Structures are given as C-alpha cells and as structure tokens.
Structure 1
Amino acid sequence: MRTHLRTASTAAALVLAALSLTACGGDTDKADKAGGTSSSASASASATASASASASASGSVSKAPAKGTSTKDTSTGGGTGGAASACTTKNTSVTFIASAHHAGEQEPAAATVKVTNTSKATCTLVGASTLVAKDDQGKAEPISADTSANGTDAVDIKPGASAQATVLYADLNFEGSASAREVCAIQASTVEIALPDDEGRTVKVTKADGSAGTFNVCGPDVKFDGFGK
C-alpha cells in the first residue's frame, strides 16, 4: 500500500515539474518573440533615420509640391509673352518715298515713310518720330518735323510687316515764275529719320518705283503724320 502511494506521489511530482517547465518555456518564447520584435523595430527605425540623414547631407531629398503649387519652369526665357520690344535701327528698315504728284495750291504733296520689321519678333512704335531734311548743297537751313501731334499711340509691327506715315509738304514755289516753280530751297537726296527713343538714320529718298528721288521742299510747313498699319 505504501508502495502504491509513493508511486502515485512520484508521478504527481513529475507531472507538476513538466507543467512548470512548459510554463517557463512559454514565458521564454514570449520574451524571445517580444525581444525580436523590439529589435526589428529598433533596427528599422535606425535604418530609416540613417537613410534620411544621408539623403539630407547629399542634398537629394525631394518633396512633392504642395497642393496648388505649380511645377512649371518659370526661369528666365522659359515662357512666352511679355511686352514687345521697341522698333529701332536694330530691328527695322526705313524707306522714304517722295510724292508721286506735285502739290497744288489747295492740296500738298504727300511723301511716305515706311518702317518694316526685319526681325523675328513683333516690335512697337510708340512716341514721336522725327524727320530732318538738309539741302544737298547746303544753301538753306534744314527743316524738321515730328509726329508728336498725333504719333504717340502704340503701333505693333509683326515680323515682315510694315507701318506707314505720310509727310505733307509743298514741292512747288507758287510765288515764283513758271520756269522756277519747281526750284525749292531744300532739295534733298537723303533725309534723317529717328524713330521714338532711337538714334537717327540716314535714308535715301526714292520714287515709288525704287529709283533715286529728291525731296523738294519749298516752304517751312511740313507735317509728319503718325504711323498706322
């Protein structure tokens, strides 16, 4: 009977020992798992911080544009538009065409000043243009006129296009004899024309067909109208 009790007690002790070991093992596994998770999280955070620091040091960090922010390149020359440049000696040619008809007592002669845009961009005429005519022989004082009365409005001239202005003058001397009617104080083969805020240029006087002409001016009243297309 004692042997049976001793055997049962021993068996019970072995069972309790096994349960105790299992419990300890379970706690160890949980600790290992918890430790592993914590280690992985720490390693991941460390790697992320290291990568961010490296990227910041090399200047390669890029951020997405904030909402409503344009990513279009707005550097100089990257866009189009803006104000047109002024028409000057650098981007235009000028022609002076003497009147094809003599003046009458009630109607003046009409010469034409033609400005052509020779560039690849639109230019603008705004302000007063001036005209100076000198006698080829220097026998009379030069005469001058400008468009300040009605030539200050802006006129855009596209590439290859032209703008024209009329010069009204008397090319006959109505007070002289019939033989001297066409003899004027100013007989100019060239004139000087300056566009607004530009230097003057010497322009040859031509006829309508392009051949050489003369700007005969018999009186001081010369009217330089504004430019129009």
Structure 2
Amino acid sequence: MRARARISTTAAVFALSALALTACGGNDDSKADGDKTSASASASTGSSSGDSAGSASKTKGTGTGGGGSSTGDKDTSSGTGGSNGGDSGATSACSTKNTEVAFVQSGEHAGEQAPATGFIQVTNTSNAPCTIVGATTLTAKDDQGKAAPIETDNAGNGTDAVDVKAGGTAKAYVAYTDVNFEGSASGREVCAVQASKVEIALPDDVARTVNVTKDGGAAGSFNVCTTDVRVGAFETA
C-alpha cells in the first residue's frame, strides 16, 4: 500500500510539473504572438505615417510651385502694363529735328528802372508734341569781334518741363540792357556787343545760329551794353 501511495504521489508530482511547463510554454507563445502583433501594428503605423507625410510633402510642393507660377504671371502682367503706360505719356524732346527757333529783339530800349525785353521763340514743326526741359543757352557774338561773346542760360530761372503741341510755340523772355547810360547822348545806343546773329542751344541739343529780327520780322540787332543778360523760363503761347 505504501509503495502504491508513493508511486501515486510521484505520478502526481510529474503531472503537476508537466502542467506547469505547459503553462509556461503557453505564456511564451502568447508573448511571441503579442510581439508579432505589436510589430505588425507598428510597421503598419509607420508605413501609413510615411505615406501621409510623403503625400503631404508632394501636395505642399505642388502648391508652392503653383503659387510661384501665379506670382510670376502677375509680375509679367504688371510689367507690361507699366511699359504701356509709360509709352502712352512719352513725348520727344524739342530739338533741331522737330523745331524752328527765332530770336526777336526788344521793341523798346531799356530804361534806368526797366530792362529791354526780347524773346526766344521755339516752334514745333512736327506732327507730335515735344518737350523742353532743362537749360537753354543763348550766346551773342559781336559782329566786329571787338568784345568777348556774352553767354547765358535760363538754368536759374526755371527749367521745368514744357510741352509744345504740334504746330505750337513757346517763348522765353530775355532781359538785357541795350543802352549805354554812361555815354553821351549820341553814343547811348553804342554797346560793346552788337550782334546781328545769336546762337541758341535747346537742352541737350546742338547750338544753331539764327538771325536777330524785330517783332515784325525785319532784320534786327541784339545790342548788349552790360553782361547782365537773363533768360526766363519757357511758356507756351
């Protein structure tokens, strides 16, 4: 009886050990399965995140490119508009190519309180407006060459842009002294410079020589007794 009892007890111990081992093995398998499932889920999540990030990156890149293209189109359009606007308001400079110039002596002699006043006249001979902007130069040379030339301009009296319409004219008045107040009565009209011609240069243009005339068109003389000659700003007639 004791032998059987020991055998039964031993068998029971083996049985319990086997169950314990089986239980341990089952836990390892479950853990392995759990790790596989977790790894699979992580891989799936990583793949999904990568795809989403890639898609977002592609979408962002496309959007940026589209914005750049759109901005470029706007810049081009704006530049074209600006160019057209500038062309529509542009005028040619008044020069020897599109104008005639005259110099008219003063109709009255200078007095002690007021100068003689002649004028430069510019006539636009073209079919489009032209602009005078800048300093116009006037040079008078003595016909006999006995005195130094007198040169002056209107830089100090206003050189703002003046548009002269096609066929129109502009005038700049010239103040000077044509009487010698220190001389005798018979020599009052004898000045150092007596010029039948003058040179006139419009802004940024070559000088041209013109005859001095009276107001009616007859031949005249630009008699200058002092060096104080002032040219005013141009005004349209």
TM-score, structure 2 normalization: 0.63
Q: Indicate the residue corresponding to 2:235 in structure 1.
A: 228
Q: 1:158 aligns with which of 144, 162, 165?
A: 165
Q: Indicate the residue corresponding to 2:22 in structure 1.
A: none
* SS state at 1:179 partner: helix
The answer as to whether partners of 2:194 and 2:224 remain within 8 angstroms in 1 is yes
Q: 2:221 aligns with which of 214, 219, 227?
A: 214
Kindly indicate whether residue 190 of structure 2 is the aligned counterpart of residue 189 of structure 1. no
Kindly indicate whether residue 91 of structure 2 is the aligned counterpart of residue 84 of structure 1. yes
Q: 1:104 aligns with which of 81, 100, 111?
A: 111
Gaps of 5+ in 1: 1-69
Instruction: Please state how far the C-alpha of 1:152 moved relative to its aligned partner.
Output: 1.6
Separation of aligned partners in 2, 1:80 and 1:141: 45
Separation of aligned partners in 2, 1:146 and 1:80: 31
Kindly indicate whether residue 176 of structure 2 is the aligned counterpart of residue 169 of structure 1. yes
Tell me the alpha carbon deviations over residues 16-42 of structure 1, each in whole angstroms, 9 at most, x when there is no partner. xxxxxxxxxxxxxxxxxxxxxxxxxxx
Report the residue type matching 1:131 in the other structure.
L
Q: Which has the larger radius of gyration?
A: 2
Which of the pair is proportionally richer in helix? Answer: 2
Instruction: Please state how far the C-alpha of 1:145 moved relative to its aligned partner.
Output: 0.9
Instruction: Please state how far the C-alpha of 1:158 moved relative to its aligned partner.
Output: 0.5
| 1:69-148 correspondence runs (5 A) | 81-148=88-155
Kindly report structure 1 stretches of 4+ aligned residues shifted beyond 2 Å: none
**Superposition RMSD in Å:** 2.3
Report the residue type matching 1:124 in the other structure.
T
TM-score, structure 1 normalization: 0.65
Gaps of 5+ in 2: 1-76
Q: Indicate the residue corresponding to 2:3 in structure 1.
A: none
Separation of aligned partners in 2, 1:101 and 1:169: 11
Separation of aligned partners in 2, 1:151 and 1:116: 19
Instruction: Please state how far the C-alpha of 1:206 moved relative to its aligned partner.
Output: 0.2
Same amino acid, percent of matched pairs: 63
Tell me the alpha carbon deviations over residues 133-158 of structure 1, each in whole angstroms, 9 at most, x when there is no partner. 00000000000110101232000000
